[in-house]
Amino acid sequence: MDSVDFPFCSWLDSPVHNAWLVAEGQRLVTFAKASRLPGGFGSLDAQGRLPDGAIAETLHTARMTHCFAMAHVQGIPGCLPLVEHGVAALLAGPLRDARDDGWFARADGEGDTGKTAYLHAFVALAASSAVVAGAPGAEQLLGAAVAVIETRFWSEEEGALRESFAHDWTQPEAYRGANSNMHATEAFLALADVTGHTHWLDRALRIVERIIHTHAAANGFGVIEHFDVQWQALHDYNHDNPTDGFRPYGTTPGHAFEWARLVLHLEAARQRAGLPAPQWLLDHARGLFANACRHAWHADGAPGIVYTLDWQNRPVVRARLHWTHAEACATAAALLRRTGEGEYEQWYRRFWDFIDSHFIDRVHGSWHHELDPQNRPGASIWGGKPDLYHAYQAVLLPRLPLAPSLATALALGNVTK
């Protein structure tokens, strides 16, 4: 399935393009190394500096650990100590709750926001990649993360994750979210590769069946993000807080792209494991991608993908976020690799041209994380440059097969030269 012969000259086969991807990845990794601080990794500002008083955060620590593990596996010197630092921070540092178990959002539970499925999915992903990188303590971290997911978050009855709890695992939130379950799907694909247990692929399929096959497909492939505990859609959720960075009102086209890619990875992973893969997986990946391109690209008359749309597919938040474009680009590559169709080659080139022209910051490093509606650097939703994860995966995924998952594929040498 991954050996499509393109009936045209594809950038995926271009040695020059692949060299560009490698160079951009190395540039991103170099910038992100400055995020290390005692207890984990913190949030860098627009110039790549840690602000005064910066503290470790679980999201950044997990994502940086995952990315530095992939960098080390590829042979980028200086990254293994960063992986080890991240593993130690997550295993026994102030991000982990030594009393009640699980992980806080910030060191020592500062500004306590409870225990969330979203963050724990990233801890599991970081642990799985650290195991592939051979970091000391990674297996122990993986076991701890899996145990919390199994005992606290996974609902066998629902076939999805519960959303969040208070720090002591009381007060379950009366909410179910597509975003946390999307990243659980990503983590489960990696867990299947690292542990060899295919029940993670069955769980990933159950999540996709619920959120994509049942809900998104019935909504014209606009991903419904917010649900109550009976999985009834909450269409007005956060109507008065449309710029929320994790739970915005309406639909989030960037997540439609991300889901489309994960659906293709799931299809490939199940086939690789000798498990049945429904035909609708490919059909839904196509639908998700097409719907997001149709309604979110150039939606307000300017190039770029808007952050959110309302239920009539009209722009709500017109800012352009870097992660949205990274995911769009990676998904175009995945569909191109899966189908060999020229439409996806065109989108792939279009997205990279836009990223190159508007997001890549060649003065201060990394990528601008947000652009305003006029495609100028902005900070209404995401200030600074705290995120390596989306941009780095965007330069890796076009060079990899659809399965196995990223760190394992890199370790196996399944990379376009």
- Active-site annotation, residues: 255, 390
| Interacting residues of 416 by C-beta distance below 8 A, sequence separation 6+ | 12, 13, 18, 398, 399, 400
Parallel/antiparallel/unpaired status of strands 176-177 and 36-37: unpaired
**Amino acid in the structure at residue 239:** H
Please state the φ and ψ torsions of residue 224, each to the nearest 5 degrees.
Answer: -80, 125
Max CA separation in the chain (angstroms): 59
CA angle 264-269-272, nearest 5°?
125
Please state the φ and ψ torsions of residue 170, each to the nearest 5 degrees.
Answer: -95, 180
Structure tokens at 62: 């997990």
**Amino acid in the structure at residue 26:** Q
